[in-house]
Amino acid sequence: MSYKEVQRSKSEKGTRVIAIINQKGGVGKSTTAVNLAAALGELNRKTLIVDFDPQGNTTSGFGIDKEELTQDVYNALLHDVPAEELIEDTICKKVFVIPATIQLAGAEIELVSAMARETRLKDLLEPVIEDFDFVLIDCPPSLGLLTINALAAADSVLIPIQCEYYALEGVTKLLESMRMVKGRINRNLGTFGVLMTMFDSRTSLSRQVVDEVRSYFGNIAFKTVIPRSVKVSEAPSYGMPVLKYSPNNKGSRAYMNLAREVIKRA
Ligand SMILES: Nc1ncnc2c1ncn2[C@@H]1O[C@H](COP(=O)(O)OP(=O)(O)O)[C@@H](O)[C@H]1O
Ligand SMILES: [Mg+2]
């Protein structure tokens, strides 16, 4: 399905815009953006991912060649290129990407002196949002202006937490940023869910983290926990979500279960 076809059928239930946020790097944000989107597409939900990290891991995770892109989300954010012109098809049905390249790294500084600097992403997505059931924003590992833009554009956040030492470190700071944005820019911002990633059933540490996260967040934590799996980490080097690379893998099954939970919560 191309984006042109998607445009002909507006989302019926309204669009959920979910920012995938944790200022720590390497906790599974991009992996979750790519694979949750693929799973939502599999379940017939039209999904747009906005790659909002200059590292562009989501963009390359779908096999999009960054060298060949002439423009990316940066051009929309700072130079008024319409979002529609940036939307790329992917190998997954009903899944689309607004790509990012290293160009986006300049935005953090350029935004400082820009007009409406906190709501630029929200404004640029506005004309395309209704074409999708879900919009996922893959955030960079910081709480700078890019992340503030994501929080302003989203209606809720999904926080991935890695089942590792110091799992909850930094979460208070993140919740503080959310409160600040909620108070000043986006009154309706909510917490969509907390997702535990890279769970290793062989370690008691992983189980401890799950207990700790569940007691801190209660029902906000998803029932689905994403297991650590080599296939999940290999898939991006083939430019595809694990759901395409190895559909029966435990990671693929977990992301399908997560998508079902996400649809129920939406
Ligand atoms: N469930 C998983 N099993 C194995 N490796 C994973 C899993 N989730 C993420 N990874 C790997 O961990 C690293 C960090 O994940 P990534 O999604 O890029 O984190 P972030 O976007 O938060 O920086 C990547 O190399 C990724 O392939
Ligand atoms: Mg990332």
Neighbours of 25 (CB within 10 A): 12
pLDDT of residue 147: 96
pLDDT of residue 3: 82
To the nearest whole number, what is the mean pLDDT of the chain?
95
Nearest one of 220, 202, 205, 217 to 162, comparing CA atoms: 205
pLDDT of residue 77: 95
Ligand 1 closest atom vs CA 226: 1
Q: Which residues line ligand 1 (CB under 6 A)?
A: 25-31, 57, 141, 197-198, 226, 228-229, 232-233, 251
Neighbours of 34 (CB within 10 A): 32
Question: At 62, is the secondary structure helix, strand, or coil?
Answer: coil
Determine the average pLDDT of the residues in 114-127: 94
Better pLDDT: 28 or 115: 28
pLDDT of residue 163: 95
Residue nearest (by alpha carbon) to ligand 1 atom 10: 233
The radius of gyration of the chain's CA atoms, rounded to the nearest angstrom, is 17
Ligand 1 closest atom vs CA 230: 4
Show Cβ contacts of residue 195 under 8 Å, excluding neighbours closer than 6 positions. Answer: 28, 32, 158, 159, 160, 161, 221, 222, 224, 225, 226, 258
pLDDT of residue 115: 87
Tens-place pLDDT, residues 49-98: 999 999 999 999 999 999 999 999 999 999 999 999 999 999 999 999 99
Q: Compute the distance from residue 104 Cα to the ligand 2 centre, in Å.
A: 14
Determine the average pLDDT of the residues in 30-42: 98
Determine the average pLDDT of the residues in 108-137: 95
Task: Please tell me the distance from the alpha carbon of residue 244 to that of residue 196, in angstroms, as a whole number.
Answer: 22
List the domains of the chain with CATH numbers: 3-265 (3.40.50.300)
Tens-place pLDDT, residues 5-16: 777 677 767 899
pTM of the entire structure?
0.96
